[in-house]
Amino acid sequence: MILPLTLEDVAYASGGQPIIRGVSLAIEAGPSTIILGANGAGKSVLMRLMHGLLAPTAGVIRWRESGARRCQAMVFQRPVMLRRSALANVTYALELAGVPAAERERQALAALEEVGLGQLAARPARVLSGGEQQRLALARAWALHPEVLFLDEPTANLDPGATREIESVIRAFDAAGTKIVMATHNLGQARRLGDEVIYLHGGRVLERAAIGQFFARPSSAEAAAFIKGEVPWT
């Protein structure tokens, strides 16, 4: 178990500009955690700090167990695909994770089946639709059986049908025991997928609450305005 992940007074600045300010929190196994906030609140930077793609400029980020990067995966708003088949994109991820060559194809096909892309295994990844590419990104993560999956606005560019398909794959990860940490500015998606909300504003955590409580009784004026749609976002 690599969880909990703890952040102690974490800050991130770029060019002297503070982006994340004094964030302290623990991410525990179990509930699906939604990082909610308006555009520019710092959700993506916070997720990258958690996943280890950025180093904090102050403070400490600690996993219960270090050196276990295989147990975490991240899916981005825009999936990055290799110029190879869907299948090869997944077997490559397995290769990087140190899975023996003889086992990669079977595991990759199982992951593609899981996300509903079994029929498209041989198709070049770059010709897949946006929703299919995002499911392929989820298949790459699925194949690794991560303990934690970070998702950064995974459906921001997708239509409602593709969004529903992605959400059902995210539920499957949750059902398989993967901890979900998802950044979104989509209130409906937060309600559908989240158990708890971490509300970010101006690089600070303003509140953290169970999903029902957050929507019924937000404790900050900023979150209340965001829920009412008074904070502009795209």
CB of 152 to Mg ion, least distance (A): 6
Q: Would you count residue 44 as binding Mg ion (CB under 5 A)?
A: yes
What is the DSSP secondary structure assignment for residue 176, as one 8-state letter? T
Going from the C-alpha of 66 to that of each of 6, 90, 186, the distances in angstroms are 12, 25, 32
Tell me: does residue 24 bind ligand ADP (CB under 6 A): no
How many residues touch Mg ion (CB under 5 A)?
Answer: 2
Smaller CB distance to Mg ion: residue 43 or 104? Answer: 43
Binding partner of 148, given Mg ion, ligand ADP, none, CB within 5-8 angstroms per partner class: none
As to burial, measured by CB atoms within 10 angstroms (0-12 exposed, 13-18 middle, 19+ buried), residue 172 is: middle
Specify the stretch interacting with ligand ADP by CB under 6 A; choose among 34-42, 80-88, 98-106, 214-222: 34-42
* Gap between the Cα atoms of 190 and 77, Å rounded: 16
Task: Please report whether residue 43 would count as binding ligand ADP according to CB under 6 A.
Answer: yes
Q: Determine, following the binding rule CB under 6 A, whether residue 39 of this chain makes contact with ligand ADP.
A: yes
Would you call the peptide bond into 218 cis, given omega within 30 degrees of 0 as the criterion?
no
- Cα angle: 79, vertex 81, 85; to 5 degrees: 135
Among 19, 86, 180, 182, binds ligand ADP (CB under 6 A): 19
Nearest residue (beta carbon) to Mg ion: 44
User: What minimum distance in Å lies between the beta carbon of 107 and ligand ADP?
Assistant: 32
Query: What backbone phi and psi angles, to 5 degrees, belong to 59?
Result: 90, 180
Q: What is the CA radius of gyration of the chain?
A: 18
CB of 173 vs ligand ADP, minimal distance in Å: 21
Whether 136 contacts 171, CB under 8 Å: no
> Which residue, 176 or 233, is less far from Mg ion as judged by CB?
233
Asked if residue 181 binds ligand ADP (CB under 6 A), the reply is no
Per-residue binding string, Mg ion, 183-202, x by CB under 5 A, is --------------------
- Are residues 227 and 218 in contact, defined by beta-carbon separation less than 8 angstroms? yes
Return left, alpha or beta for 56; rule: phi > 0 is left, psi -120 to 50 is alpha, else beta: beta
Q: Which of 5, 10, 45, 166 binds ligand ADP (CB under 6 A)?
A: 45
Min CB(42)–Mg ion separation in Å: 8
- Answer yes or no whether residue 53 interacts with ligand ADP by CB under 6 A: no
